[in-house]
Structure formats: C-alpha cells, structure tokens
Chain A
Amino acid sequence: MRTEIRFSGFGGQGIILAAVIVGRAAVMYDNKYAVQTQVYGPEARGGASMSAVIIDDEPVLFPKVTSPDIYVIMSQEGFEKYGVSVSGGAIMLVDSSLVHSRPSCRCIEIPATKEARESLGRDIVANIIMLGALVAATGVVSREAIEKAILDSVPRGTEELNLKAMKKGFELAEKVMHG
C-alpha cells in the first residue's frame, strides 16, 4: 500500500532530514520501498521548507506526493503553504508550540519544540520528537526501524539525546491517542 507523508516547517528545523530518516527506516530496516523528495528555496535557514516521503510495499513509481495521507507540520507558514489543502481522510501531526491553525482532518497536537526546549534542553531535536510521534501515531514504519534510522543519521555524540527525543515523541503521541 502506498503511503504519502509530507513534512513542512521552516528551514533549519531538519524537515528534510526527518523525511530522509523515515525513508531510510522503511527501506533499510522494514524492507519496504521508499522515495524521498523535497522542495527548497534559496534560503539556508528560515522560509517554508517541505519534504516528502512515499512508502510502499511495491516499488514506488511516481516519486512525488500528490495527496498526502499524513502531514507533519512544524511551522505556521508551513501549515499555510503546504497544510491547508489537506483532504478529509488524512492525519496531521502539528507542532502545537509553533502552529496555531488546525486542519479540517484528524489532528494530533504534539508540543515538540516546547518539549525539546524544556525537557531536553535543545530545540534542535524537535523534529525527532515529531518523528517519534509520527511512528507511534501511524505505525508507518516500525519503532525498531525508526530507532536504527535515527542512529544512522544523527551526528556522533548526539545519539542519546536523539533517542530520548524519539521516546518523548512516542510518549506524547500515546498520551494524545489514548486520551
């Protein structure tokens, strides 16, 4: 089954990396197929950044996301640019510390940046919290796979911090899911 995930936020949040990690988890550790793409402007930091990953049991033919099943939105501008056209059947995870709008579809609020700053002391791992939440909420890849893919992708010396962030994401999503 083809699952399309779109990530959006501002440049510097690790929006592209988040999609890369999910794709890597699917291909390398869940034995599925994936294609990851992105849209970026000339800015290295700031601006609305968008990345996407498509996961499928069969080879992915069309590589671009047309109608995302899952959204992960980490900035208000990202919501306005890439999140407003959401279809009714989709799921959206929003970083509720930065996004104040809410979509018409099912929405899972994760205060990722706030938690990253307050519990972990580093804003920079907000994207990993969102990844943990994504996996816990949707099961799009396995928990083992996302853990391995995160460890493959983060700078040496930050593994522990990132795994904490991932687990924080699991917890936050579980709290929302199970009330």
Chain B
Amino acid sequence: MSYDEWFRDDRLPHIYCAGCGNGTVINCTLSAVDQMGWTKDETVFVSGIGCSSRAPGYIVADSLHTTHGRAIAFATGIKMANPDLRVIVFTGDGDLAAIGGNHFIHACRRNIDLTVVCMNNMIYGMTGGQGSPTTPQGALSTTTPYGSAEAAFDLCGLAAAAGANYVARYTSYHVKELIRAVRTGLETPGFSFIEALVQCPTNFGRRNKFRQVMDQIEFFKSHALLVQKADRMREEGKKIPDDMIVIGELARRNRPPLGVRK
C-alpha cells in the first residue's frame, strides 16, 4: 500500500486552496501510517474545526470531525474506551492552541497514547484570515490590521512542558523529516505532538510579504534552525533571531503513558 490508497476518492476534489501546505502534511502523515503497516480498520482520525480539521474527511478510515477545539477530548474518549484503536488527531493552530488549549495541555499531562499533528499556518485560514495564537508579533491579519501586538505561542514548548512523550517541529518544506517525525510519534507510546508549519498563501502569505507560494516555503527553508544548532548557539551565548524556526525533535522521553494498546 502507499499513502494515496488511504484517500476517499469519492470526496475529491478537496477544499484546500492551490498552494496550501496542508496537503503535504496529510501526505506525510499517511505515509508514516502506511509505513507502520496499520490497517484502515484499526486506525481512527479525529479533528476539530478549521482547514486542517477537514483532513479526516478525505481519508478512508473511521473518522470523527468534531467541534472547534475539542478534537483531543473526543479522541481521549475513543482511545480510553478502546485502546486497540490507533488514534491520530489533525488540528490547527487556532483549534489546538486557542479554543482547545486546555484540552491540549491536559492530554500532554495525561500522556495519553495519541498522535497529534498540528498544521500551524499562523492564521485562521478557513474563515478569512483572522489572527491566531501563533500569528507572529507584528504580522498582519484581518483582526490585527496594524500588526499583531501579542506574542505567539510556542506550541512545542507547551507540549514539552506539559509532559508529552514525543515533540517535534518541522515545516511543509521538510517532507522527509516530517514523515520520520510522525512515524516516531506513532511508534512512541503516550502523547506525541508534531507541529508542521504550513504556508497559507491565501490568507497569511498574501498579507505578510509572501506573494508567491514558494516565497513562504523559501522562508521556511532559509529560517529553519536545527535544534542541535540552536542549543549550541545558546551555549555560546549567541542570540537566536526572533524569526528563526527551531526544528527537530524537541522532546523524546518515556513518562508512563495512558490508554496504550495491551
């Protein structure tokens, strides 16, 4: 099997804009699932609300497209009631970190055996480009027309601090790394969190000097800083520029997990 056999053909075409980064993340996730050899009958995809959360609707497995922010809470019920199921959550930055922030940190604390893939486009894409908790300071959105005055959330830092067993960040540029990270997440008992920064040409790029799709991908490429290098810079007392994106495995540990298949 390959990842494209997981798609629901009768649901295509999808709703994503041309140039959207979500498709890359969905493909990477399904490739990782496929590499694991998991079957469609044992795998469940859960999501909340937003562009990212439409992903389960395009996948031929049992899937629950839930309410805004609550995907992880629904997934917790599924996994606890039937630990034999493999449960993967697709979410976005608004869904996960704004309205769903509390469920996110508590799932990390419980270290429940879920893999959560967050497509972080730094904006509310589906509803026309409002600011989100990961909109960078100074960035423009329809609700931050003078530049966001607020600091952005470090989603991986949050997950690591709250107790997730596996935490990694990449971008839609880092396809191979992303597949590997999701796969490691799937293999890791307990809570795994993979953040994928994605371009949103329609609602983020257009307003924030990434006129072409490739402009934002180029930015991801040029501003990605491997965590090992970032650590070295910190040790050397060097300042990491604010616009750099620290990528790599940010936590990997073995806290006791909850809801693991027996």
Q: Are A and B close enough to touch in the complex, i.e. CB under 8 Å?
A: no
Which residues of A line the B interface, CB within 8 A? none
